[in-house]
Amino acid sequence: MRGRLVKKSKLLVLITILLTTIFTTGFTNINRNPKTVYRVYLEGKSLGIIESKKSFENYIDNKQNEIKEKYNVSKVYTPAELDIVKEITFEKSIQSNTEIYNKIKDSSSFTIDGYVVKIKGIDTKDEETGKTIKGKNQYIYVLDKKVFTNSVEKTVKSFIKEEDYNNYANDTQKEIKDVGTIIDNIYLKNKITIKKDKIPVNKTIYLKEEDLSKYLLFGTTKDQSKYTIKDGDTIDDVAFNNKISIEEFLVANPDLTENSLLYPGQVVTIGILKPQISVVEEDHVVKDEEVKYTTKTEEDPNQYTNYKVVKQQGENGLNRVTQKVQKVNGETVSVVGIPAATEVLKVPVEEIVVKGTKQPTWSGGYGDLIVTKGMFGWPATCSTISSPFGWRWGTLHDGMDIAGCGYGSNIFAAESGVVYTASYKSSNGQYITIKHDNGYYTMYAHLCMGCMYVKEGDRVTRGQPIGGMGQTGFATGVHLHFAVWTGPPYYGGTALNPMAFY
Protein backbone atom coordinates (compact mmCIF):
# COMPACT_ATOMS: atom_id res chain seq x y z
CA MET A 1 0.00 0.00 0.00
CA ARG A 2 2.79 2.35 0.94
CA GLY A 3 4.55 1.54 -2.32
CA ARG A 4 1.50 2.57 -4.29
CA LEU A 5 1.33 5.91 -2.46
CA VAL A 6 4.99 6.59 -3.19
CA LYS A 7 4.51 5.86 -6.89
CA LYS A 8 1.40 8.03 -7.01
CA SER A 9 3.25 10.87 -5.26
CA LYS A 10 6.10 10.71 -7.81
CA LEU A 11 3.62 10.73 -10.67
CA LEU A 12 1.89 13.84 -9.32
CA VAL A 13 5.25 15.60 -8.97
CA LEU A 14 6.17 14.71 -12.55
CA ILE A 15 2.83 15.98 -13.88
CA THR A 16 3.20 19.16 -11.81
CA ILE A 17 6.70 19.80 -13.22
CA LEU A 18 5.48 19.17 -16.78
CA LEU A 19 2.51 21.51 -16.40
CA THR A 20 4.72 24.13 -14.82
CA THR A 21 7.13 23.91 -17.78
CA ILE A 22 4.34 24.21 -20.35
CA PHE A 23 2.72 27.06 -18.44
CA THR A 24 6.02 28.89 -18.06
CA THR A 25 6.97 28.46 -21.72
CA GLY A 26 3.56 29.57 -22.91
CA PHE A 27 3.54 32.54 -20.59
CA THR A 28 7.00 33.55 -21.80
CA ASN A 29 5.93 33.41 -25.51
CA ILE A 30 2.77 35.39 -24.87
CA ASN A 31 4.59 38.11 -23.03
CA ARG A 32 7.70 38.44 -25.29
CA ASN A 33 7.70 41.98 -26.82
CA PRO A 34 6.80 42.02 -30.59
CA LYS A 35 9.00 44.09 -32.89
CA THR A 36 8.11 46.57 -35.68
CA VAL A 37 10.14 45.79 -38.84
CA TYR A 38 9.89 46.15 -42.61
CA ARG A 39 9.66 43.32 -45.10
CA VAL A 40 11.18 43.96 -48.54
CA TYR A 41 9.46 42.52 -51.62
CA LEU A 42 10.82 42.50 -55.17
CA GLU A 43 8.08 41.88 -57.72
CA GLY A 44 6.02 40.21 -54.99
CA LYS A 45 8.82 37.96 -53.72
CA SER A 46 10.11 38.47 -50.18
CA LEU A 47 13.81 39.29 -49.93
CA GLY A 48 13.94 39.54 -46.13
CA ILE A 49 13.34 41.86 -43.20
CA ILE A 50 15.08 45.12 -42.35
CA GLU A 51 14.86 47.31 -39.28
CA SER A 52 14.22 50.70 -40.89
CA LYS A 53 12.69 51.68 -44.21
CA LYS A 54 14.20 55.16 -44.02
CA SER A 55 17.63 53.80 -43.20
CA PHE A 56 17.48 51.43 -46.18
CA GLU A 57 16.37 54.20 -48.56
CA ASN A 58 19.20 56.44 -47.34
CA TYR A 59 21.64 53.56 -47.81
CA ILE A 60 20.59 53.19 -51.46
CA ASP A 61 20.79 56.95 -52.01
CA ASN A 62 24.31 57.06 -50.60
CA LYS A 63 25.48 54.20 -52.84
CA GLN A 64 24.39 55.82 -56.14
CA ASN A 65 26.89 58.61 -56.70
CA GLU A 66 27.41 57.48 -60.30
CA ILE A 67 23.71 57.95 -61.09
CA LYS A 68 23.68 61.34 -59.35
CA GLU A 69 26.60 62.55 -61.42
CA LYS A 70 25.23 61.20 -64.72
CA TYR A 71 21.82 62.82 -64.35
CA ASN A 72 22.82 65.74 -62.10
CA VAL A 73 20.31 64.81 -59.39
CA SER A 74 20.60 64.93 -55.62
CA LYS A 75 18.45 61.93 -54.74
CA VAL A 76 18.17 58.31 -55.91
CA TYR A 77 15.27 56.07 -54.91
CA THR A 78 14.48 52.38 -54.68
CA PRO A 79 13.41 50.46 -57.82
CA ALA A 80 9.80 50.90 -58.91
CA GLU A 81 9.08 47.17 -58.53
CA LEU A 82 10.36 47.16 -54.90
CA ASP A 83 7.86 47.29 -52.03
CA ILE A 84 8.76 47.88 -48.38
CA VAL A 85 5.91 46.81 -46.08
CA LYS A 86 5.64 47.46 -42.36
CA GLU A 87 5.25 44.34 -40.16
CA ILE A 88 4.96 43.47 -36.46
CA THR A 89 6.71 40.20 -35.75
CA PHE A 90 8.48 38.08 -33.13
CA GLU A 91 11.03 36.93 -35.69
CA LYS A 92 14.62 37.59 -34.74
CA SER A 93 16.10 37.15 -38.27
CA ILE A 94 16.81 40.75 -39.30
CA GLN A 95 18.97 41.41 -42.38
CA SER A 96 21.30 44.32 -42.91
CA ASN A 97 20.80 47.03 -45.50
CA THR A 98 23.87 45.73 -47.30
CA GLU A 99 22.46 42.21 -47.60
CA ILE A 100 19.19 43.39 -49.15
CA TYR A 101 20.98 45.92 -51.37
CA ASN A 102 23.25 43.20 -52.79
CA LYS A 103 20.17 41.18 -53.73
CA ILE A 104 18.69 43.97 -55.88
CA LYS A 105 21.58 46.05 -57.20
CA ASP A 106 22.21 43.91 -60.30
CA SER A 107 18.65 42.83 -61.09
CA SER A 108 16.66 46.03 -60.66
CA SER A 109 16.83 49.64 -61.75
CA PHE A 110 16.97 52.49 -59.27
CA THR A 111 14.76 55.52 -59.86
CA ILE A 112 15.06 59.30 -59.88
CA ASP A 113 12.59 62.18 -59.94
CA GLY A 114 11.38 63.08 -63.43
CA TYR A 115 8.43 63.12 -65.81
CA VAL A 116 6.74 60.34 -67.72
CA VAL A 117 5.26 61.50 -71.04
CA LYS A 118 2.61 59.23 -72.54
CA ILE A 119 2.00 59.62 -76.28
CA LYS A 120 -1.21 57.83 -77.22
CA GLY A 121 -0.98 55.83 -80.42
CA ILE A 122 -3.22 56.58 -83.41
CA ASP A 123 -5.17 53.82 -85.10
CA THR A 124 -4.37 53.32 -88.80
CA LYS A 125 -5.53 51.10 -91.64
CA ASP A 126 -3.53 48.38 -93.34
CA GLU A 127 -3.20 49.40 -97.00
CA GLU A 128 -3.61 45.86 -98.29
CA THR A 129 -6.28 44.36 -96.02
CA GLY A 130 -8.07 47.54 -94.95
CA LYS A 131 -8.08 46.28 -91.36
CA THR A 132 -7.61 48.67 -88.44
CA ILE A 133 -4.18 48.57 -86.82
CA LYS A 134 -4.34 49.59 -83.17
CA GLY A 135 -2.05 52.50 -82.38
CA LYS A 136 0.77 51.72 -79.97
CA ASN A 137 1.25 53.94 -76.94
CA GLN A 138 4.77 54.98 -76.10
CA TYR A 139 6.43 56.54 -73.10
CA ILE A 140 9.16 59.17 -73.04
CA TYR A 141 11.17 60.04 -69.92
CA VAL A 142 12.61 63.46 -69.15
CA LEU A 143 13.91 65.19 -66.03
CA ASP A 144 12.73 68.61 -67.16
CA LYS A 145 9.30 69.18 -68.74
CA LYS A 146 10.76 71.95 -70.92
CA VAL A 147 12.98 69.44 -72.70
CA PHE A 148 9.84 67.74 -74.01
CA THR A 149 7.74 70.84 -74.74
CA ASN A 150 10.61 72.58 -76.54
CA SER A 151 11.38 69.43 -78.54
CA VAL A 152 7.75 69.20 -79.63
CA GLU A 153 7.83 72.83 -80.74
CA LYS A 154 11.00 72.14 -82.78
CA THR A 155 9.30 69.14 -84.37
CA VAL A 156 6.26 71.24 -85.27
CA LYS A 157 8.53 73.85 -86.88
CA SER A 158 10.14 71.10 -88.96
CA PHE A 159 6.83 70.67 -90.79
CA ILE A 160 5.58 74.26 -90.68
CA LYS A 161 7.66 77.26 -91.71
CA GLU A 162 8.87 79.05 -88.60
CA GLU A 163 7.61 82.41 -89.82
CA ASP A 164 4.14 81.00 -90.50
CA TYR A 165 4.13 79.22 -87.14
CA ASN A 166 5.15 82.37 -85.26
CA ASN A 167 2.53 84.49 -87.05
CA TYR A 168 -0.12 81.92 -86.14
CA ALA A 169 1.06 81.68 -82.52
CA ASN A 170 1.21 85.48 -82.14
CA ASP A 171 -2.02 86.10 -84.06
CA THR A 172 -0.21 88.30 -86.60
CA GLN A 173 -1.24 86.57 -89.84
CA LYS A 174 -2.12 88.92 -92.70
CA GLU A 175 -5.64 88.74 -94.07
CA ILE A 176 -6.09 87.32 -97.57
CA LYS A 177 -6.90 90.08 -100.08
CA ASP A 178 -6.84 88.26 -103.41
CA VAL A 179 -5.01 84.95 -103.05
CA GLY A 180 -3.02 83.47 -100.20
CA THR A 181 -3.00 81.11 -97.24
CA ILE A 182 -3.70 81.55 -93.55
CA ILE A 183 -3.42 78.87 -90.90
CA ASP A 184 -6.72 78.14 -89.18
CA ASN A 185 -5.36 75.67 -86.63
CA ILE A 186 -2.27 73.77 -85.53
CA TYR A 187 -2.54 70.87 -83.11
CA LEU A 188 -1.20 67.42 -82.26
CA LYS A 189 -3.39 64.50 -83.29
CA ASN A 190 -1.93 62.38 -80.48
CA LYS A 191 -3.28 62.71 -76.96
CA ILE A 192 -0.31 63.52 -74.70
CA THR A 193 -0.17 63.39 -70.91
CA ILE A 194 2.75 64.43 -68.70
CA LYS A 195 3.00 63.04 -65.17
CA LYS A 196 5.61 63.71 -62.50
CA ASP A 197 6.94 60.38 -61.24
CA LYS A 198 9.97 58.38 -60.24
CA ILE A 199 11.53 57.05 -63.44
CA PRO A 200 13.87 54.03 -63.79
CA VAL A 201 17.42 54.86 -64.84
CA ASN A 202 17.53 51.84 -67.16
CA LYS A 203 15.08 53.66 -69.47
CA THR A 204 16.17 56.14 -72.13
CA ILE A 205 16.04 59.49 -70.34
CA TYR A 206 16.31 62.52 -72.63
CA LEU A 207 18.45 65.29 -71.18
CA LYS A 208 18.95 67.34 -74.36
CA GLU A 209 16.35 68.86 -76.65
CA GLU A 210 18.32 68.01 -79.78
CA ASP A 211 18.34 64.29 -78.91
CA LEU A 212 14.61 64.18 -78.23
CA SER A 213 13.85 66.30 -81.31
CA LYS A 214 15.81 63.84 -83.45
CA TYR A 215 13.87 60.93 -81.95
CA LEU A 216 10.50 62.61 -82.50
CA LEU A 217 11.38 63.14 -86.18
CA PHE A 218 13.25 59.97 -87.13
CA GLY A 219 12.22 57.45 -84.45
CA THR A 220 15.85 57.03 -83.41
CA THR A 221 18.71 59.07 -81.93
CA LYS A 222 21.28 57.43 -84.20
CA ASP A 223 22.98 59.63 -86.78
CA GLN A 224 21.32 59.58 -90.20
CA SER A 225 23.30 58.57 -93.28
CA LYS A 226 25.27 61.16 -95.23
CA TYR A 227 25.63 61.83 -98.95
CA THR A 228 28.34 63.82 -100.71
CA ILE A 229 27.00 66.00 -103.52
CA LYS A 230 28.36 65.29 -107.01
CA ASP A 231 28.57 67.62 -109.98
CA GLY A 232 25.12 68.14 -111.49
CA ASP A 233 23.16 66.92 -108.45
CA THR A 234 19.92 68.71 -107.63
CA ILE A 235 17.76 68.42 -104.52
CA ASP A 236 15.11 66.61 -106.58
CA ASP A 237 17.65 64.06 -107.85
CA VAL A 238 19.30 63.46 -104.48
CA ALA A 239 15.96 63.01 -102.73
CA PHE A 240 14.46 60.65 -105.32
CA ASN A 241 17.62 58.55 -105.75
CA ASN A 242 17.80 58.06 -101.98
CA LYS A 243 14.09 57.15 -101.74
CA ILE A 244 12.96 60.17 -99.76
CA SER A 245 10.73 63.11 -100.60
CA ILE A 246 11.95 66.66 -101.09
CA GLU A 247 10.13 67.59 -97.87
CA GLU A 248 12.01 64.88 -95.95
CA PHE A 249 15.30 66.09 -97.42
CA LEU A 250 14.63 69.66 -96.29
CA VAL A 251 13.58 68.53 -92.80
CA ALA A 252 16.83 66.58 -92.46
CA ASN A 253 18.78 69.60 -93.79
CA PRO A 254 17.10 72.63 -92.18
CA ASP A 255 19.77 75.02 -93.49
CA LEU A 256 18.63 74.37 -97.07
CA THR A 257 15.52 75.48 -98.95
CA GLU A 258 13.85 74.09 -102.06
CA ASN A 259 15.66 76.73 -104.14
CA SER A 260 19.10 76.14 -102.64
CA LEU A 261 21.91 75.32 -105.05
CA LEU A 262 24.05 72.32 -104.19
CA TYR A 263 27.78 72.19 -104.87
CA PRO A 264 30.18 69.25 -105.38
CA GLY A 265 31.68 68.00 -102.12
CA GLN A 266 28.82 69.34 -100.00
CA VAL A 267 27.72 66.78 -97.39
CA VAL A 268 23.98 66.46 -96.77
CA THR A 269 21.90 64.29 -94.47
CA ILE A 270 19.70 61.54 -95.86
CA GLY A 271 17.04 60.70 -93.29
CA ILE A 272 13.81 58.75 -93.70
CA LEU A 273 11.27 60.39 -91.45
CA LYS A 274 9.39 58.30 -88.93
CA PRO A 275 7.51 60.93 -86.90
CA GLN A 276 6.50 59.87 -83.40
CA ILE A 277 3.81 62.54 -83.18
CA SER A 278 1.27 63.73 -85.76
CA VAL A 279 1.40 67.50 -86.35
CA VAL A 280 -1.85 68.68 -87.93
CA GLU A 281 -2.01 71.96 -89.86
CA GLU A 282 -5.37 73.21 -91.13
CA ASP A 283 -5.19 75.97 -93.75
CA HIS A 284 -7.64 78.33 -95.42
CA VAL A 285 -6.43 78.71 -99.01
CA VAL A 286 -7.54 81.06 -101.77
CA LYS A 287 -5.80 80.38 -105.07
CA ASP A 288 -6.16 80.89 -108.79
CA GLU A 289 -6.54 77.51 -110.44
CA GLU A 290 -6.37 76.73 -114.13
CA VAL A 291 -9.35 74.96 -115.66
CA LYS A 292 -8.06 72.57 -118.30
CA TYR A 293 -9.67 73.05 -121.67
CA THR A 294 -11.43 70.10 -123.29
CA THR A 295 -10.67 68.80 -126.77
CA LYS A 296 -13.25 68.03 -129.42
CA THR A 297 -12.23 65.85 -132.35
CA GLU A 298 -13.78 66.24 -135.79
CA GLU A 299 -13.24 63.56 -138.43
CA ASP A 300 -12.41 64.35 -142.05
CA PRO A 301 -12.90 61.35 -144.37
CA ASN A 302 -11.05 63.11 -147.19
CA GLN A 303 -7.77 63.22 -145.24
CA TYR A 304 -5.45 60.30 -144.43
CA THR A 305 -5.12 58.98 -140.86
CA ASN A 306 -1.82 60.79 -140.34
CA TYR A 307 -3.60 64.14 -140.87
CA LYS A 308 -4.14 66.21 -137.72
CA VAL A 309 -4.85 69.92 -137.67
CA VAL A 310 -5.88 72.18 -134.79
CA LYS A 311 -8.95 74.01 -136.07
CA GLN A 312 -9.42 76.04 -132.90
CA GLN A 313 -6.69 76.58 -130.33
CA GLY A 314 -7.74 75.62 -126.85
CA GLU A 315 -7.20 77.95 -123.93
CA ASN A 316 -7.28 77.10 -120.26
CA GLY A 317 -9.75 78.92 -118.06
CA LEU A 318 -9.05 80.39 -114.64
CA ASN A 319 -11.05 80.06 -111.42
CA ARG A 320 -10.39 81.64 -108.05
CA VAL A 321 -11.14 78.83 -105.61
CA THR A 322 -11.32 78.61 -101.83
CA GLN A 323 -10.23 75.42 -100.11
CA LYS A 324 -9.81 73.94 -96.67
CA VAL A 325 -6.54 72.01 -96.66
CA GLN A 326 -5.40 69.63 -93.93
CA LYS A 327 -1.81 68.48 -93.63
CA VAL A 328 -0.33 65.89 -91.28
CA ASN A 329 3.43 66.12 -90.76
CA GLY A 330 3.72 68.29 -93.86
CA GLU A 331 1.81 65.89 -96.13
CA THR A 332 -1.54 67.04 -97.55
CA VAL A 333 -4.20 64.49 -96.56
CA SER A 334 -7.38 66.40 -97.36
CA VAL A 335 -8.44 69.19 -99.72
CA VAL A 336 -12.06 70.30 -99.57
CA GLY A 337 -13.24 72.94 -102.02
CA ILE A 338 -15.94 75.47 -101.16
CA PRO A 339 -17.98 75.73 -104.39
CA ALA A 340 -20.00 78.72 -103.19
CA ALA A 341 -16.79 80.76 -102.92
CA THR A 342 -15.52 79.90 -106.44
CA GLU A 343 -15.13 82.88 -108.77
CA VAL A 344 -14.80 82.35 -112.54
CA LEU A 345 -12.05 84.66 -113.82
CA LYS A 346 -11.82 83.22 -117.32
CA VAL A 347 -13.96 80.68 -119.18
CA PRO A 348 -11.94 77.94 -120.95
CA VAL A 349 -11.94 77.78 -124.75
CA GLU A 350 -12.52 74.34 -126.27
CA GLU A 351 -9.83 72.95 -128.54
CA ILE A 352 -11.09 71.58 -131.86
CA VAL A 353 -8.88 69.07 -133.66
CA VAL A 354 -9.55 67.71 -137.14
CA LYS A 355 -8.26 64.18 -137.81
CA GLY A 356 -8.25 62.29 -141.05
CA THR A 357 -9.97 58.91 -141.25
CA LYS A 358 -8.98 57.87 -144.78
CA GLN A 359 -6.82 54.73 -144.72
CA PRO A 360 -3.61 54.76 -146.77
CA THR A 361 -3.37 52.43 -149.76
CA TRP A 362 0.04 51.13 -148.73
CA SER A 363 0.60 48.62 -145.88
CA GLY A 364 2.43 49.15 -142.65
CA GLY A 365 0.52 52.15 -141.33
CA TYR A 366 2.25 54.80 -139.33
CA GLY A 367 3.28 52.84 -136.25
CA ASP A 368 2.63 53.70 -132.62
CA LEU A 369 2.20 57.27 -131.53
CA ILE A 370 5.18 58.77 -129.77
CA VAL A 371 4.34 60.06 -126.31
CA THR A 372 5.29 63.68 -125.83
CA LYS A 373 4.60 66.16 -123.06
CA GLY A 374 1.03 67.33 -123.25
CA MET A 375 -0.22 64.21 -124.98
CA PHE A 376 -2.44 63.03 -122.12
CA GLY A 377 -5.57 64.94 -121.18
CA TRP A 378 -6.10 66.05 -117.59
CA PRO A 379 -8.13 63.39 -115.72
CA ALA A 380 -10.13 65.62 -113.33
CA THR A 381 -12.17 68.82 -113.16
CA CYS A 382 -9.61 70.55 -110.89
CA SER A 383 -5.83 70.74 -110.87
CA THR A 384 -4.71 70.81 -107.22
CA ILE A 385 -2.02 68.17 -106.69
CA SER A 386 -2.24 67.30 -103.01
CA SER A 387 0.53 64.70 -103.11
CA PRO A 388 3.00 64.38 -106.01
CA PHE A 389 4.72 61.31 -107.43
CA GLY A 390 7.84 60.35 -105.46
CA TRP A 391 9.29 58.81 -102.33
CA ARG A 392 7.89 59.55 -98.87
CA TRP A 393 8.97 57.89 -95.61
CA GLY A 394 10.70 55.05 -97.48
CA THR A 395 7.74 54.20 -99.74
CA LEU A 396 7.23 55.18 -103.38
CA HIS A 397 4.00 57.08 -104.02
CA ASP A 398 3.49 55.65 -107.51
CA GLY A 399 1.18 58.37 -108.83
CA MET A 400 -0.10 61.82 -108.02
CA ASP A 401 -3.14 62.74 -105.94
CA ILE A 402 -5.54 65.33 -107.36
CA ALA A 403 -7.96 66.85 -104.85
CA GLY A 404 -10.43 69.66 -104.34
CA CYS A 405 -12.87 68.79 -107.15
CA GLY A 406 -15.55 67.48 -104.81
CA TYR A 407 -17.16 64.11 -104.14
CA GLY A 408 -18.63 62.52 -107.27
CA SER A 409 -17.00 64.99 -109.70
CA ASN A 410 -16.14 63.54 -113.10
CA ILE A 411 -12.96 61.57 -113.75
CA PHE A 412 -11.90 61.48 -117.42
CA ALA A 413 -9.89 59.05 -119.53
CA ALA A 414 -6.51 60.67 -120.11
CA GLU A 415 -6.29 59.12 -123.59
CA SER A 416 -8.17 56.68 -125.80
CA GLY A 417 -7.81 52.98 -125.09
CA VAL A 418 -9.45 49.87 -123.70
CA VAL A 419 -10.53 49.42 -120.07
CA TYR A 420 -8.05 46.86 -118.71
CA THR A 421 -9.43 46.73 -115.13
CA ALA A 422 -12.58 48.04 -113.45
CA SER A 423 -12.54 46.53 -110.00
CA TYR A 424 -11.98 46.97 -106.24
CA LYS A 425 -8.75 46.64 -104.27
CA SER A 426 -8.43 47.28 -100.55
CA SER A 427 -5.73 49.91 -100.99
CA ASN A 428 -7.07 51.50 -104.21
CA GLY A 429 -10.76 51.16 -103.46
CA GLN A 430 -12.87 51.41 -106.63
CA TYR A 431 -10.37 51.81 -109.48
CA ILE A 432 -10.06 51.69 -113.25
CA THR A 433 -7.02 50.91 -115.41
CA ILE A 434 -6.94 51.81 -119.11
CA LYS A 435 -4.55 50.25 -121.64
CA HIS A 436 -3.79 52.88 -124.25
CA ASP A 437 -3.01 52.32 -127.89
CA ASN A 438 0.57 53.53 -127.36
CA GLY A 439 1.32 50.80 -124.79
CA TYR A 440 1.02 52.95 -121.66
CA TYR A 441 -1.45 52.27 -118.87
CA THR A 442 -3.21 54.85 -116.71
CA MET A 443 -4.86 54.09 -113.39
CA TYR A 444 -7.63 55.99 -111.57
CA ALA A 445 -8.12 55.03 -107.89
CA HIS A 446 -10.39 55.86 -104.91
CA LEU A 447 -13.49 56.35 -107.08
CA CYS A 448 -16.76 56.72 -105.21
CA MET A 449 -19.01 53.68 -104.68
CA GLY A 450 -21.30 53.14 -107.65
CA CYS A 451 -19.29 55.69 -109.66
CA MET A 452 -17.61 53.49 -112.27
CA TYR A 453 -19.20 54.26 -115.62
CA VAL A 454 -17.24 51.73 -117.68
CA LYS A 455 -16.39 48.04 -117.45
CA GLU A 456 -13.52 45.83 -118.51
CA GLY A 457 -13.19 45.57 -122.28
CA ASP A 458 -14.98 48.86 -123.02
CA ARG A 459 -13.43 51.14 -125.59
CA VAL A 460 -13.03 54.71 -124.27
CA THR A 461 -11.93 57.96 -125.86
CA ARG A 462 -9.84 60.79 -124.50
CA GLY A 463 -11.89 63.05 -122.23
CA GLN A 464 -14.70 60.51 -121.74
CA PRO A 465 -16.10 60.44 -118.17
CA ILE A 466 -15.24 57.03 -116.72
CA GLY A 467 -16.02 57.50 -113.01
CA GLY A 468 -16.53 59.85 -110.09
CA MET A 469 -14.02 61.10 -107.50
CA GLY A 470 -14.40 59.48 -104.09
CA GLN A 471 -12.67 58.15 -100.99
CA THR A 472 -12.86 54.35 -101.24
CA GLY A 473 -9.97 52.16 -100.14
CA PHE A 474 -7.09 53.56 -98.14
CA ALA A 475 -7.77 57.28 -98.59
CA THR A 476 -7.74 60.01 -95.94
CA GLY A 477 -9.85 62.39 -98.01
CA VAL A 478 -11.74 62.75 -101.29
CA HIS A 479 -9.20 62.66 -104.13
CA LEU A 480 -8.10 60.88 -107.30
CA HIS A 481 -4.93 58.80 -107.29
CA PHE A 482 -3.78 59.02 -110.93
CA ALA A 483 -0.85 56.91 -112.12
CA VAL A 484 0.93 56.22 -115.41
CA TRP A 485 2.67 52.86 -116.00
CA THR A 486 4.76 51.38 -118.81
CA GLY A 487 3.07 48.02 -118.29
CA PRO A 488 0.18 46.58 -116.26
CA PRO A 489 0.17 48.23 -112.79
CA TYR A 490 1.70 45.97 -110.09
CA TYR A 491 2.19 43.11 -112.59
CA GLY A 492 5.51 43.77 -114.30
CA GLY A 493 4.87 47.43 -115.04
CA THR A 494 6.93 50.43 -113.99
CA ALA A 495 5.35 53.54 -112.50
CA LEU A 496 6.28 56.86 -114.11
CA ASN A 497 5.86 60.44 -112.98
CA PRO A 498 2.50 61.49 -114.49
CA MET A 499 3.61 65.13 -114.72
CA ALA A 500 6.13 64.09 -117.38
CA PHE A 501 3.15 63.78 -119.75
CA TYR A 502 1.81 67.28 -119.19
Lowest-pLDDT range of 107-111, 328-332, 372-376: 372-376
Query: Does 356 have pLDDT greater than 90?
Result: no
pLDDT of res. 10: 46
Q: Is 180 left (phi over 0), alpha (psi -120 to 50) or beta?
A: left
Read off the pLDDT of each residue in 465-482 and give the average, rounded to a whole number.
91
Residue predicted with more confidence, 92 or 4: 92
Q: Is residue 88's pLDDT more than 80?
A: yes
32 falls in which pLDDT band (50, 70, 90)?
low
Q: Which residue has the higher pLDDT, 111 or 302?
A: 111
Give percent above pLDDT 70 in the chain.
89
User: Over 60: is that where the pLDDT of 22 sits?
Assistant: no
Asked whether the predicted pLDDT for residue 352 surpasses 50, the reply is yes
Over residues 278-299, mean pLDDT: 91
* pLDDT bracket for residue 391 (50, 70, 90): confident
Q: Which residue has the higher pLDDT, 112 or 20?
A: 112
Q: pLDDT band at residue 26, thresholds of 50, 70 and 90? A: very low
pLDDT 10s digits, 101-158: 999 988 889 999 999 999 999 888 776 666 888 889 999 999 999 999 999 999 999 9
**Taking the alpha carbons of 488, 492, 496, 502 in that order, is the dihedral positive or negative?**
negative
Which pLDDT does position 438 carry in this prediction? 84
In the predicted structure, residue 19 carries a pLDDT above the cut 60: no
Q: How many CA atoms lie within 13 A of 51 on its CB side?
A: 8
Q: What is the pLDDT of residue 2?
A: 41
Position 370 pLDDT exceeds 60: no
pLDDT reading at 69 higher than 90: yes
Residue 11: what pLDDT? 45
pLDDT tens-digit map of 397-446: 999 999 988 888 899 999 999 999 999 988 899 999 999 988 899 999 99
Cα 444 from Cα 415, distance rounded (Å): 12
Q: How many helices (H) and strands (E) does the chain have?
A: 9, 31
Q: Which of 31-35, 454-458, 460-464 has the highest mean pLDDT?
A: 454-458
- φ, ψ of residue 406 in degrees (nearest 5): 105, 150
As a whole number, the mean pLDDT across the chain is 86
How many CA atoms within 13 Å lie on the side-chain side of 230? 4
Mean pLDDT computed over 337-355: 90
Between 225-234, 293-302, 369-378, the lowest mean confidence (pLDDT) is in: 369-378
- CA torsion sign for 200, 202, 203, 204 is positive
Question: 368-502 falls under which CATH superfamily?
Answer: Glucose Permease (Domain IIA) (2.70.70.10)
pLDDT of residue 303: 79
The DSSP H or E segment spanning 146 is helix 145-159
| Segment 244-271 mean pLDDT | 91
Q: What's the whole-number mean pLDDT along residues 317-322?
A: 94
Q: Which fold has domain 281-367?
A: Resuscitation-promoting factor rpfb fold (2.20.230)
State the Cα–Cα distance between residues 445 and 379, nearest whole angstrom.
11
Q: 108 φ, ψ to 5°? A: -130, 165
pLDDT of amino acid 320: 95
Beta strands (DSSP E) in 189-243 are 192-200, 205-206, 225-228
Question: 45-54 long-range contacts, Cβ below 8 Å, gap at least 24?
Answer: 47/100, 47/103, 47/104, 48/93, 48/95, 48/99, 48/100, 48/103, 49/87, 49/89, 49/91, 49/93, 49/94, 49/95, 50/84, 50/94, 50/95, 50/96, 50/97, 50/100, 51/94, 53/84, 53/86
Look at residue 66 and tell me whether its pLDDT is greater than 80.
yes
**Residue 263 pLDDT class (50, 70, 90 cuts):** very high
User: Dihedral of the CA atoms 64, 67, 73, 76 (nearest 10)?
Assistant: -40
pLDDT tens for each residue of 174-210: 999 999 999 999 999 999 999 999 999 999 999 999 9
